[in-house]
Structure 1
Amino acid sequence: MDTNTAEQDMVTLFHNLQHSGPEREAHLKALSKALRDPSAQLTFIKKENSMHLLVSLLTGSNATCRLQAVRCLHELSHSPHNNVAPACLPATPYLLTYLSGQSTKFTELCLYTLGNLFPDSDVVKDKLVAQGIIPALANCIENQRHNLAVVEAVGFTLSQLLQVKDAAEKIIPTVLASSIPSHLLSVLTPDPKFGLAPAIECAWCLHYLTCSIEDNRVLLAHRAMLQCSSLLVSLGGAVASGNKEEGMELLIFPLLRCVGNLLSFCPVEDLTTQVGDHHIVAALCALLEAYLQTQPALARESAWVLNNLTAYSSAFCSALLTLNLVPGLIQLLPFSQGINTMILRVLANIAHNRKEFCVQLANLGLLSALCATLKMADQEMVTLSMDVLFMLVVSGPQVAEEFVRHGGLSVLEATQYNSEGEIRQRATYLLKTLEENISCS
Structure 2
Amino acid sequence: MWRLKTVRHKSSVSLKDVEELRERRREHEKVLRQARRDRQLVSKRLLLNEEEQEGELMQTNSAPLSQDQIRQMVHNVQHGGEEKATHLAVLRKALRDPQTHLIFTKLENSMYVLVGQLSGHNAQCQLEAARCLHELSNSPHPGVGQSCLSATPYLLTYLSSPSAKLTELCLYTLGNLWPENTIVKEKLLVQGIVPALANCIQVQRCNLAVIEAVGFTLSQLLQDKDTPDTVILAVMNSGLLPHLISLLAPDPAFGIGAAVECAWCLHYIVSRTADISTLLTDGLLLQCSNLLITLGGAVAKGCTDDGVELLIWPLLRCMGNMLASGVCEAAGCSAGVEDVRLLAALCVFSQTYLTSHCALSRESLWVLNNLTAGSPVFGSAVLSLNIVPVLLQLLAFSNGINTMVLRILGNVAHNGPGYCVQLMRAGLLPVLCTTLKMANLDTVTLSLEVLHLLTASSPQATEEFIRLDGIPLLEAIQYNNEEEQRLRASYIIDHYLRAH
Q: 1:107 to 1:5 in 2, by over 3 A?
A: closer
The match for 2:119 is: 59
Identity of aligned residues (%): 55
CA distance in 2: counterparts of 1:373 and 1:50, whole angstroms:
67
CA distance in 2: counterparts of 1:168 and 1:217, whole angstroms:
19
Aligned residues: 438
SS of the aligned residue for 2:185 comes to helix
Conservation of the 8 A alpha-carbon contact between 1:96 and 1:110: yes
The correspondence of residues 299-314 of structure 1 with structure 2, limited to 5 A, is: 299-314=361-376
Conservation of the 8 A alpha-carbon contact between 1:223 and 1:274: no
The correspondence of residues 198-237 of structure 1 with structure 2, limited to 5 A, is: 198-237=258-297
CA distance in 2: counterparts of 1:269 and 1:310, whole angstroms:
15
Structure 1 unaligned blocks of 5 or more: none
TM-score, scaled to structure 2: 0.85
The match for 1:129 is: 189
Pick aligned residue for 2:308 from 218, 237, 248: 248
The match for 1:408 is: 470
1:323 maps to a residue whose letter is L
CA distance in 1: counterparts of 2:462 and 2:123, whole angstroms:
80
CA distance in 1: counterparts of 2:238 and 2:177, whole angstroms:
23
Residue 187 of structure 1 deviates from its aligned partner by 1.2
Q: 1:386 to 1:143 in 2, by over 3 A?
A: same
CA distance in 1: counterparts of 2:277 and 2:124, whole angstroms:
46
CA distance in 1: counterparts of 2:100 and 2:132, whole angstroms:
12
CA distance in 2: counterparts of 1:308 and 1:100, whole angstroms:
42
For the pair 1:76 / 2:147, whether they are aligned, the reply is no
CA distance in 2: counterparts of 1:339 and 1:120, whole angstroms:
38
Residue 268 of structure 1 deviates from its aligned partner by 4.6
SS of the aligned residue for 1:155 comes to helix
Q: 1:237 to 1:167 in 2, by over 3 A?
A: farther
The match for 1:366 is: 428
Conservation of the 8 A alpha-carbon contact between 1:168 and 1:213: no
For the pair 1:286 / 2:348, whether they are aligned, the reply is yes
Where is the helix percentage greater, Structure 1 or Structure 2? 1
1:86 maps to a residue whose letter is Q
Residue 244 of structure 1 deviates from its aligned partner by 2.0
The match for 2:245 is: 185
The match for 2:485 is: 423
The match for 2:22 is: none
For the pair 1:296 / 2:296, whether they are aligned, the reply is no
For the pair 1:38 / 2:98, whether they are aligned, the reply is yes
Residue 253 of structure 1 deviates from its aligned partner by 0.3
For the pair 1:6 / 2:63, whether they are aligned, the reply is no
The correspondence of residues 134-173 of structure 1 with structure 2, limited to 5 A, is: 134-173=194-233
Pick aligned residue for 2:412 from 350, 367, 370: 350
Deviations 1:164-204 (A, max 9, x none): 12343110011012221111111111000000111111111
SS of the aligned residue for 2:455 comes to helix
Deviations 1:69-117 (A, max 9, x none): 0000000000111111111011101111111123111110000000000
For the pair 1:393 / 2:471, whether they are aligned, the reply is no
SS of the aligned residue for 1:36 comes to coil
Q: 1:34 to 1:308 in 2, by over 3 A?
A: same
The match for 1:384 is: 446
SS of the aligned residue for 1:84 comes to coil
SS of the aligned residue for 2:81 comes to coil
SS of the aligned residue for 2:414 comes to helix
Conservation of the 8 A alpha-carbon contact between 1:367 and 1:403: yes
The match for 2:178 is: 118
Residue 326 of structure 1 deviates from its aligned partner by 0.8
- Of stretches 218-227 and 237-246 in structure 1, the one that deviates more from structure 2 is 237-246
CA distance in 1: counterparts of 2:185 and 2:126, whole angstroms:
24
Conservation of the 8 A alpha-carbon contact between 1:229 and 1:276: no
CA RMSD of aligned residues (A): 1.6
- Of stretches 70-79 and 98-107 in structure 1, the one that deviates more from structure 2 is 98-107
Residue 293 of structure 1 deviates from its aligned partner by 1.3
Q: 1:282 to 1:258 in 2, by over 3 A?
A: same
CA distance in 2: counterparts of 1:210 and 1:273, whole angstroms:
15
Conservation of the 8 A alpha-carbon contact between 2:178 and 2:184: yes
Residue 423 of structure 1 deviates from its aligned partner by 1.7
CA distance in 2: counterparts of 1:115 and 1:426, whole angstroms:
53
CA distance in 1: counterparts of 2:449 and 2:470, whole angstroms:
14
SS of the aligned residue for 2:438 comes to coil
Residue 267 of structure 1 deviates from its aligned partner by 3.5
Deviations 1:9-66 (A, max 9, x none): 2111012122131222111001111111222111111111111111110011111111
1:252 maps to a residue whose letter is I
SS of the aligned residue for 2:66 comes to helix
Greater RCO between the two (CA within 8 Å, min separation 6)? 2
- Of stretches 188-197 and 413-422 in structure 1, the one that deviates more from structure 2 is 413-422
Structure 2 unaligned blocks of 5 or more: 1-61
The correspondence of residues 325-344 of structure 1 with structure 2, limited to 5 A, is: 325-344=387-406
